[in-house]
A and B are shown apart, each in its own frame.
Chain A
């Protein structure tokens, strides 16, 4: 008798299959529509952008989960034995080649629950760096600084370290390195870099988001390192460019110069090799 029930799994009629497909299509449409609305709403309420976008992956997994539950329980009317049989089939599928897909889905669930990153964060995962634009069932979409769309498989969260630059916050710490000649006035250069940072249209300064300017001496040049938070992480590179441009404009006016090419001269003297 039990065996009969198991084999009934294969006895789906066309209506059952059609109903299941319709439910999946409806779930897909619902996910797309709600994602679209949430993204639009999040852009309108800029301050709470991340809070709204955080709901996206939870929403997706919930809708697809409910759709699958509805298909198995109400459309297919699967008994426990039938579920067991299907589980066996899925297990075999995973064994034969769906292993990665399964790992991606589990990775997606872990990302949703544990939140190592959220939609809108700037992350580095494996060799990829960019802004998380979507967390899907199978992959996380990243937009790189070159505006390329990268699909990073969700299972990477198990195998690769994840570096999150803002962890759900709006701001992101940007680092700007400028190199000046050893003979230039370092104090004046540090003041200029500080002012270029704190007057930038992209900066955000508060007690929790302070800025710093550091100086390091190298044999043939000095490195100025400015650290400040960008108001919105989407403007990370605009901020760096804005500060660099305005700092160098002022350096030129104040006679602060870039390192000379004496590295090459020193390196090539005598042996002709760079030391």
Chain B
């Protein structure tokens, strides 16, 4: 039902900015555009929308894996003056000789008669901006914003009929304490023992309900989408995955929306490969081996990443597990492997 509408929710201002840049181009002022966002944040949805709005004016290039041949981005024969290139982070590989294709793109975009609208993975963009100053070639840079709880609600529920989904309170929710003792398990590796450390657990659901009672009654569905927004950090793709996992069709309860905690334990090589997967959205084992340099290590590294639930394999390509995105980004930033 609401796919077209869904793609627009939360990004209206960004699309308006792109349309303004297109209008400037048509009046003689060329500005190339970079749309930048982290994985699952809706880059392709925006590209689709821009293509739909400007169907008569644009041609589109969809990149689905790392580009190895410069002919793949050749634009001979196309007559339209606006070019959309989706997933431009596939134009480079982090290895010696891995910048040839992106250098080709930078030559192409010097053409004053063609406007380029490109989408980029946030972490690839930050890397490329530091090492080859890619930002200089794209005067209009649009960073996709995080969605609010209301926008996530609007986006997700647009795929259902009115009253199709039933939002129910958890059994025993009323008896749940706002602050209670819980036990945190810590593994002591040298002793091979697990100890329980008591800590104070705060029930944010109960707290929110208690605080809001003085002003207004919080609807259960608002509570659920607030929780989904908190866990997904406003990332629409991640929010969608959490929704699907929490939904017991047609019922959803706040207690089903659970925040998964990933205790990431990786060495430097594994962390680096995880950073590459995060920066590329999707990448095959062969490409990872080319980047790492030692083919024999890659199987072992991928096994470790899969075992910890940090990545998933889709069509022989490694992708970040959407639920682990927040933990991965935090871990890699702490290790200074993404900037």
Contacts and interface: CB of A to CB of B under 8 A. Distances in A.
A115 interface: no
Given A205-B130, A246-B293, A199 B94 contact: yes
A14 B132 CA distance: 73
A206 B129 CA distance: 9
A195 B94 CA distance: 9
B272 A47 contact: no
Q: Helix, strand, loop or mixed for chain B's interface?
A: loop
Contact of A235 (B97, B99, B131, B268): B268
14 contacts: A45-B334, A47-B336, A192-B96, A192-B97, A195-B96, A198-B132, A201-B337, A206-B130, A211-B131, A231-B336, A235-B268, A246-B96, A246-B293, A250-B97
B95 interface: yes
B137 interface: no
Interface of A: 45-47, 170, 192, 195-196, 198-199, 201, 204-207, 211, 231-232, 235, 242, 245-247, 249-250
B339 interface: yes
A262 B131 CA distance: 37
B24 interface: no
B336 A206 contact: no
Contacts of B99: 195
Given A206-B130, A206-B339, A250 B96 contact: yes
A201 B99 CA distance: 16
Contacts of B334: 45-47
B131 A198 contact: yes
B131 A201 contact: no
Contacts of B96: 192, 195-196, 199, 246-247, 249-250
A207 B334 CA distance: 19
Contacts of B94: 199
A205 B127 CA distance: 8
Interface string B151-186: 000000000000000000000000000000000000
Contacts of B97: 192, 195, 250
A45 B176 CA distance: 34
Interface residues of B, number: 20
B237 interface: no
Nearest to B93: A199
Interface in B127-142: 130-132
A58 to B, nearest CB: 25
- The 9 A-B residue pairs with the shortest CB-CB distance in the complex, in nearest-first order: A201-B272, A198-B131, A205-B130, A195-B96, A250-B96, A199-B94, A46-B334, A196-B96, A205-B131
Nearest to A48: B334
Interface of B: 94-99, 130-132, 268-269, 272, 291, 293, 333-337, 339
A204 B268 CA distance: 14
Contacts of B336: 46-47, 170, 204, 231-232
Contacts of A250: 96-97
A20 B223 CA distance: 61
Contacts of B339: 206
Nearest to B335: A46
A120 to B, nearest CB: 14
A46 B293 CA distance: 26
A86 to B, nearest CB: 44
Contacts of A45: 334
B104 to A, nearest CB: 15
A205 to B, nearest CB: 4
Contact of B268 (A201, A206, A207, A246): A201
A246 B94 CA distance: 12
A199 B98 contact: yes
B159 to A, nearest CB: 40
Given A192-B96, A196-B96, A246-B96, A231 B131 contact: no
Nearest to A195: B96
Given A198-B132, A205-B131, 9 more contacts: A47-B334, A192-B97, A195-B95, A195-B96, A199-B98, A201-B268, A201-B337, A206-B130, A250-B96
